[in-house]
Copies of this chain bind each other. A is one copy, B any other.
């Protein structure tokens, strides 16, 4: 007779296999699905999602969880995995199928409406459905945990163990520093084109991205790269991690940045422990931790001075015409140019945090009823004036710029800034422990860093809450001071007179 733990793992793997299949269907939807195949694909994915939920709330799983929970032979990690599973399953069991159906339907309608609103460049087109989404999210939160603030319940899906109040305090602490720094950088804001002399041909970029992925340590026997419009990382299994990237012939960094970002996510997924597959021990700790991996590789490695030196000869060799006389220093300055404006995805690393804080504050107020959808555009524009000193010139480049809320992702935004804080703290720890890191980057050795992240973060899955994982990895409590000092040092130096 197998132990309750073994039976639990077996049942969880069935669940994971279903969600893995759905993950592949979603990947294909963005990469290779024929235009008119979209309808049937949505139906296939809805069927798998419904079966997933059925299996998750089935009494036989609940019984196994109960049996495992009372097994005294569990290790501490197994105990935590059982508790994490119990929490997730308990919540799923509280959700009526009808509410799930209404949410899914409304999110899909609202996404379509967002597309229309963008075409019309008018928030009013999207507002009615957004209002319904907010109401459904409130109902969802009240159904799951009637005693908790609604926002906390939504946040918990992405950043377990965090609360809205905690994050509000944290962000209030960070905001003045980001604002000050943004003010100092404002005169240097630069929205000009890149410094390149000719196009970077697509076919060559494909080859370059593939070879760079290998050099960085992405395992192409256990993953792949494909071209899409919006880059993402998908992982149907630990041994099948898929990055997508985009290409812009005018500027290779337009494809390179998202690729390395997604690769950071991909490293995490490839670094989970195969033996624990299906259990929370082989799941990412939180989105704030996941994002720390992508931002560490994107901001701290790719956008570093040393990486520009490493990149220069590789780019010159592959793209001699485009590079012309461009050298490492120019690459470095281009990758880190200051961009203060109303659009999150066009912003620099410093003002980016302010974009996130605005979204967090608004979405929390929305869900907890302190602001209404009808007043949202004004509130958005007002906060942009106050925090960033800019006014969106249109809804398209203002309140309609992100898909998140319209697709039902409320409570997601703060994980971007948590990720940036975690990334800065991790990278500072790494550079202190490994003073040769610049030399390693210069000479294209990324293995030590990846191995350290594997051991400090990846292999642990959900063994610890995010705060504890960070403390174990860095020796100190998570704190925003690492991000603030990193940003100040880097960007004030960049704009200082030579």
Chain A contacts to B: CB under 8 angstroms: 13-14, 17-18, 20-22, 24-25, 28, 32-37, 39-41, 43-44, 46-48, 51, 219-224, 226, 236-240, 277
Interface centre among A36, A40, A41, A236 (most CB of B within 10 A): A40
Q: Give 18 pairs: A residue, B residue, CB < 8 Å, sorted on A.
A: A14-B47, A17-B46, A17-B47, A17-B48, A18-B47, A21-B22, A21-B47, A24-B44, A34-B221, A34-B222, A34-B240, A35-B222, A36-B222, A36-B240, A37-B236, A37-B237, A40-B236, A40-B238
What residues of chain B lie closer than 8 Å to A21, measured between beta carbons? 21-22, 25, 44, 47-48
Q: Which of B14, B18, B221 meets A35, CB within 8 Å?
A: B221
Chain B neighbourhood of A237, CB < 8 A: 37, 40-41, 44
A41-B240, A221-B36, A223-B34 known; A24 vs B18 contact (CB < 8 Å): no
| A240 & B47 in contact (Cβ 8 Å cutoff) | no
Alpha-carbon separation in the docked complex, A35 to B18 (Å): 21
A372 to chain B, nearest CB (A): 39
Interface centre among A34, A222, A226 (most CB of B within 10 A): A34
Inter-chain CA distance A220–B33, complex, in Å, is: 10
Question: In the complex, are the beta carbons of A17 and B34 less than 8 A apart?
Answer: no
Minimum C-beta distance from A430 to chain B (A): 28
A28 partner residues in chain B, CB cutoff 8 A? 24, 28
- Separation in Å of the A128 CB from the closest CB of chain B? 30
Docked complex Cα distance between A24 and B26 (Å): 11
- Beyond A18-B51, A24-B24, A40-B239, 14 additional contacts (C-beta under 8 Å) are A18-B47, A21-B25, A24-B25, A24-B28, A28-B28, A32-B226, A34-B239, A34-B240, A36-B221, A37-B240, A40-B236, A40-B237, A40-B240, A40-B277
Q: Which residue of B lies closest to A39 (CB)?
A: B239
- For the complex of A and B, the 7 pairs showing the least CB-CB separation, nearest first, are A37-B240, A40-B237, A17-B47, A36-B239, A17-B44, A37-B239, A35-B221
Determine the distance from Cα of A40 to Cα of B221 in the docked complex, in whole angstroms: 13
Please, how many angstroms separate the alpha-carbon atoms of A25 and B17 in the complex? Answer: 11
Which residues of B lie under 8 Å from residue A25 when comparing CB positions?
A: 21, 24
CA distance A35 to B43 in the complex (A): 29
Could you tell me if A18 and B48 are in contact, using CB atoms closer than 8 angstroms? yes
In the complex, residue of chain B having the shortest beta-carbon distance to the beta carbon of A22: B21
Complex contacts, A219 vs chain B, CB 8 Å: 36
A270 CB to nearest B CB, Å? 10
| Beta-carbon contact of A44 and B32 below 8 Å | no
* Chain B residues whose CB sits within 8 angstroms of the CB of A14 once the complex forms: 47
- Cα-based distance from A459 to B194 in the complex (angstroms): 56
> Are A17 and B37 in contact, CB atoms less than 8 angstroms apart?
no
Q: In the complex the two chains form, what is the Cα distance from A219 to B236 in whole Å?
A: 29
CB distance from A20 to the nearest CB of B (A): 5
Nearest residue (CB) in B for A28 is B24
Chain B nearest CB, measured from A318 CB (Å) = 19
Known contacts A33-B240, A34-B240, A37-B239; A43/B13 CB under 8 A: yes
Residue of B nearest to A203 (CB): B203
The chain B residue with its CB closest to the CB of A38 is: B239
A222 to chain B, nearest CB (A): 5
Given A33-B240, A34-B239: A43 and B24 within 8 A (CB)?
no
